[in-house]
């Protein structure tokens, strides 16, 4: 929380009875299992395993009164956002994890923010339904659904937030709201792309899609001529039918040769259609290994509930959106490999670009790829310099993969009028900046 008063040097961790009953504090045998996240170590003063919106409202009131730092956590897989802290309160929503099919005929589902996407996929599968979310079952609903959601069927079904029909939040003043296109429509617009700035989301309603088995091809390519490979792969993805979504990971393999692993999902199982659709992608570069199989969609996203211990050493990452992988863009992406331990491209395009840019705070509707490059903290400056050279070839930014938080990143994530509207809404809904942990927006009162 930002304040005009001097910051408190020794925040009290005495908790009111209601919060004490759900708290895990240092010294508790459970503490080590809840203090860290996937990318960040933390030493919070209390992790609150909240069970209701009322618990969350009480936590917000306590944080405001004592000026203790406050962080929301759903799945703990944040890259752009911190979901732990040092000495403060973590509002952990993992107990709020119900997944409910409200109406199987209209495919309307309600998902609580503390569920993992693997749990969502497993719960919807018996109904023949799915939501395209991301590539990892342990990622939490709350962090992803307040930012975007680029999933393994994004070209066919769009972003996860394109399917959102309502959101339930606890706002900074403790009020509990359900927002949709008719109720607090400005808030609903803001939640879908910049949600973590506006409250603690407790649940969402989504329109799911009928999805059964999918075909997956996991292909390892020799990408020694990385730029040429990337240009061909990008063109093949753009030309592919919408049933095809491909995620590419580039790493430097043995002997310094670049290797690319493509995980390509075809939403369907018709063998002839699959072969025809995937052939151009396979010919993007020499295939070292290829494995294709059909599977129920939900089995691609197991939620293993891996213990979090800041296990991801590549904790610095940069993010950008790309319209087309042109040869110059490919050259600059290739140069990232000299410092980044991992470079990933996720296809967007297709149905993602069907939504009008003004529909929600995530406004990027012309791009075909989301790019991220991750490295260790010691190589941050080198990655930043290479990213600067790539920047003119980018068009916007998906905030979930960005760890840098300057004005440039805000303007890339929320171009032009989008940022202006968000600043006005931040000033209204969170004037004291209680929620500043994921890509903090400025406000009228705190413009920087
Ligand atoms: C291994 C891995 C793979 C990924 N793959 C994809 C992918 O394929 N596609 C994609 O789109 N993204 C992907 N992501 C990015 C992911 O969507 C974001 O990091 C997301 O924020 C994680 O959500 P979480 O709930 O697990 O995170 P958390 O760490 O719990 O939270 C992240 C941020 O969001 C805030 N937040 C969390 N819950 C709430 C809530 N309920 N209300 C308000 N604010 C909240 C937190 O305060 C924090 O700042 C991936 C991340 C990882 C680590």
ipTM summary value: 0.99
**Average pLDDT, stretch 323-335?**
98
Q: What is the mean pLDDT of residues 101-123?
A: 98
Which carries the bigger pLDDT value, residue 2 or residue 46? 46
Per-residue pLDDT band at 182 (split at 50, 70, 90): very high
Going by alpha carbons, the residue nearest to atom 47 of ligand 1 is: 72
Looking at the predicted structure, is the pLDDT value of residue 5 above 50?
Answer: no
**Distance in angstroms (rounded) separating the CA atoms of residues 402 and 110:** 28
Provide the pLDDT for residue 98. 98
- Report pLDDT digits (tens) over 217-254: 999 999 999 999 999 999 999 999 999 999 999 999 88
Mean pLDDT of 51-66: 97
Residue 381, class by beta-carbon neighbours within 10 Å (0-12 exposed, 13-18 middle, 19+ buried)? exposed
Maximum CA extent, the chain: 67
Distance 287 CA to ligand 1 centre (A): 33
Residue 136, ligand 1, Cβ within 6 A: yes
Q: Which atom of ligand 1 is nearest to the CA of 76?
A: 29
Residue 447 pLDDT > 50, yes or no? yes
Task: Locate the ligand 1 atom nearest the alpha carbon of residue 149 and give its number.
Answer: 11
Q: Is the CB of 394 under 6 A from ligand 1?
A: no
Output the pLDDT for position 11.
45
Q: How far is CA 116 from each of CA 133, 139, 141, rounded to the nearest angstrom?
A: 10, 6, 6
pLDDT at residue 49 tops 50: yes
For residue range 290-299, list pLDDT tens digits in order: 999 999 999 9
111 lines ligand 1 (CB under 6 A): no
Q: From the alpha carbon of 398, which atom of ligand 1 is closest?
A: 11
pLDDT category, 9, cuts 50, 70, 90? Answer: very low
| pLDDT recorded at residue 390 | 98
Whole-number Å distance, alpha carbon 280 to ligand 1 midpoint, is 33
Ligand 1: residue whose CA is nearest its atom 37? 143
Residue 40 Cβ inside 6 Å of ligand 1? The answer reads no
The confidence score (pLDDT) of residue 1 equals 63
| pLDDT confidence of residue 234 | 98
pLDDT tens by residue, 131-174? 999 999 999 999 999 999 999 999 999 999 999 999 999 999 99
> In the predicted model, is pLDDT for residue 10 greater than 80?
no
User: 345-403 pLDDT, tens per residue?
Assistant: 999 999 999 999 999 999 999 999 999 999 999 999 999 999 999 999 999 999 999 99
Q: Using H for helix, E for strand and C for coil, what is the string for the chain?
A: CCCCCCCCCCCCCCCCHHHHCCEECCCCCCHHHHCCCCCCCCECCEEEECCCHHHHHHHHHHHHHHCCCEEEECCCCCCCCCCCCECCEEEECCCCCCEEEEECCCCEEEEECCCEHHHHHHHHHHHCEECCCCCCCCCEHHHHHCCCCCCCCHHHHCCHHHHEEEEEEECCCCCEEEECCCCCHHHHHHHHHHHHHCCEEEEEEEECEECCEEEEEEEEEECCCHHHHHHHHHHHHHHCCCCEEEEEEEEECHHHCEEEEEEEEECCCCHHHHHHHHHHHHCCCCEEEEEEEEEEHHHHCCCCCCCCCCCCCCCEEEEEEECCCCHHHHHHHHHHCCCCCEEEEEECCHHHHHCCHHHCCCCCCCCCEEEEEEECHHHHHHHHHHHHHHHHHCCCCCHHHCCCCCHHHHHHHCCCHHHHHHHHHHHHHCCCCCCCCCCCCCCCCCCC
Quick check: CB of 53 below 6 Å from ligand 1?
Answer: no
All domains of the chain in start order, with CATH: 17-92 (3.30.43.10), 99-210+414-429 (3.30.465.10)
Distance 372 CA to ligand 1 centre (A): 15
Among 254-268, 298-312, 418-432, the range scoring the smallest mean pLDDT is 298-312
Q: Determine the residue of 48, 74, 318 to mutate for testing ligand 1's pocket, defined as the one with the most ligand atoms within 8 A of the Cβ atom.
A: 74
Average pLDDT over residues 425-433: 97
Residue 2: its pLDDT value, please? Answer: 62
For residue 434 and ligand 1, the question of a CB distance below 6 A is answered with no
Distance 138 CA to ligand 1 centre (A): 10
The average confidence (pLDDT) of the chain is 95
Q: 24 pairs with which residues across the strands?
A: 47
- Alpha-carbon distance 136 to 134, whole Å? 6
């Amino acid at each position: 929380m930002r304040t005009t008063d001097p910051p408190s040097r020794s925040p009290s961790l005495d908790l009111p009875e209601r919060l004490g009953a759900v708290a895990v504090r240092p010294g508790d045998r459970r503490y080590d299992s809840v203090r860290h996240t996937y990318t960040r170590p933390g030493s919070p003063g209390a992790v609150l395993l909240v069970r209701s919106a009322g618990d969350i409202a009480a936590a917000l009131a306590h944080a405001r009164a004592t000026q203790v730092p406050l962080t929301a956590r759903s799945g703990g897989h944040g890259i752009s956002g911190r979901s732990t802290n040092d000495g403060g309160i973590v509002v952990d929503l993992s107990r709020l994890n119900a997944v409910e099919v409200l109406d199987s005929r209209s495919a309307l589902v309600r998902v609580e923010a503390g569920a993992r996407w693997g749990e969502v996929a497993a719960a919807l599968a018996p109904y023949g339904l799915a939501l395209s979310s991301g590539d990892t079952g342990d990622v939490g609903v709350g962090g992803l659904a307040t930012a975007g959601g680029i999933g393994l069927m994004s070209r066919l079904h769009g972003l996860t937030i394109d399917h959102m029909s309502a959101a339930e939040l606890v706002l900074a003043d403790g009020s509990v709201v359900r927002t949709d296109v008719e109720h607090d429509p400005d808030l609903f617009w803001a939640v879908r792309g910049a949600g973590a700035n506006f409250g603690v989301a407790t649940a969402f309603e989504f329109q799911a899609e009928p999805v059964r088995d999918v075909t997956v091809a996991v292909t390892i390519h020799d990408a020694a001529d990385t730029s040429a490979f990337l240009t061909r792969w990008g063109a093949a993805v753009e030309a592919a039918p919408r049933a095809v979504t491909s995620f590419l990971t580039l790493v430097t393999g043995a002997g310094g040769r670049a290797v690319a692993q493509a995980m390509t999902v075809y939403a369907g199982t018709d063998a002839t259609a699959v072969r025809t659709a995937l052939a151009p992608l396979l010919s993007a570069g020499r295939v070292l290994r290829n494995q294709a199989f059909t599977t129920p969609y939900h089995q691609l996203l197991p939620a293993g509930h891996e213990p979090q211990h800041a296990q991801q050493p590549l904790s610095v990452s940069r993010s950008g959106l790309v319209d087309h992988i042109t040869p110059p863009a490919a050259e600059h992406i290739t140069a990232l490999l000299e410092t980044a331990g991992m470079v990933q491209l996720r296809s967007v395009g297709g149905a993602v670009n069907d939504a009008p840019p003004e529909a929600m705070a995530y406004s990027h509707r012309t791009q075909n790829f989301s790019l991220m490059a991750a490295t260790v903290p010691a190589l941050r400056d080198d990655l930043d310099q290479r990213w600067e050279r790539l920047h003119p070839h980018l068009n916007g930014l998906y905030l979930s993969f960005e760890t840098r938080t300057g004005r440039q990143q805000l303007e890339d994530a929320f171009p032009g009028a989008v940022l202006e509207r968000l600043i006005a809404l931040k000033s209204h809904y969170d004037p004291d900046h209680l929620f500043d942990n994921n890509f903090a927006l400025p406000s009228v009162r705190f413009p920087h």
